[in-house]
Amino acid sequence: MIQESNANVGGDARGCGERLREARLAAGLDLQDVAARLHMPVRVVESLEKHGKGQATGAPVFVRGQLRSYAKLLQVDLGPLLEAEVAPVAPVELVSHSHVAPWRRAMESIARRAVYVVITAAIAVPVWFATRTHFAEQPATASLDAVPSAGAPHQVQHEAVRLPAPPVAARVNDRSPYVASLAPPVGRSQSTAASPALSLVFEGDSWMQVTGDNGRVLEQGLMRSGQERSFKAGEVTGIVLGNASAVRVQQDGSKVDLTPYQRANVARFAVSSDGSVAPAQ
């Protein structure tokens, strides 16, 4: 270990750099040895030894640390001499050039939040109005085999319920039928029209849909027991019958067997221009 040099007891006339140089020479070290031990460039060590003689050695914060490291290596106590030669590092004083009152900061915070709310509403409200129709109540649907109960003849069931065909005697013929048609309703009197190509006789309540040219729906609705419909050749192109077992279909007076066109008591068949029945496409 390097012993403290006699330069440590010298007068105050010597500066930090000169005392370090004397201690280095007394310890038998050259500049390269000190630079290697302190991990500093040789020119920095040489600049430290010239400190106090008008030599620029860098910023005080770096010079102070380098001199302390050099003194610790040579076991030299620079003491108050280091404080006198190197200006103390004072923290930078932060000066506020602007002052914002607390009430103003609160108002700015409220204004930013209000702008956020307005922008959100401007985006969300049009989207809600544009999509609200998708959440509207869906139209009620009913199975082709479902027949409304006697207590609510006009109520449409939301769930498909399969009920057996009621007896003819249990039905009342004067109930108003469920009709949704683009063509004028065909009454019972038209069942005796001259030379009907196709006629439907409802022996029980049944749902019916009649399609014309280009897929246009001519008539659809719930037909009551005892009602009839007649169509001329070329007037209709397709018919769908719910509760098909309760419907008698006649072509030119001959009964048509619906078994080939019937599935789960629902019959679907096409009608040719001459009134003949064929499987639905």
Q: Could you report the per-residue pLDDT of 128-139, keeping only the tens digit for each?
A: 888 876 555 555
The answer to the question of residue 217 being in a domain is yes
Domain that holds residue 225: 168-279
CB atoms within 10 A of CB 53: 9
Residue 228 near residue 191, CB atoms below 8 Å: yes
The answer to the question of residue 158 being in a domain is no
Give me the percent of the chain exceeding a pLDDT of 70.
63
Domain boundary among 66, 85, 104: 85
Confidence of residue 228 (pLDDT cuts 50, 70, 90): very high
Q: Could you report the per-residue pLDDT of 244-255, keeping only the tens digit for each?
A: 898 999 888 888
Domain boundary among 85, 108, 130: 85
The answer to the question of residue 155 being in a domain is no
The answer to the question of residue 126 being in a domain is no
The answer to the question of residue 41 being in a domain is yes
pLDDT above 90: residue 169: no
The pLDDT of residue 113 is 93
* E-only strand ranges, the chain: 180-181, 198-202, 206-211, 217-223, 228-231, 238-242, 247-251, 254-255, 262-263, 266-271, 277-279
Q: For the chain, what is the domain count?
A: 2
Domain boundary among 85, 114, 142: 85
Residue 208 backbone class (left: φ over 0; alpha: ψ -120 to 50; beta: rest):
beta
Residues 76 and 173 in one domain: no
Most confident by average pLDDT, 57-71, 161-175, 247-261: 247-261
pLDDT above 80: residue 176: no
- Top-confidence residue, 174 or 18: 18
The answer to the question of residue 40 being in a domain is yes
Which amino acid type is present at position 177? P
CATH number where 35 lies: 1.10.260.40
**Among all chains, which residue has been given the structure tokens 């020119």?**
43
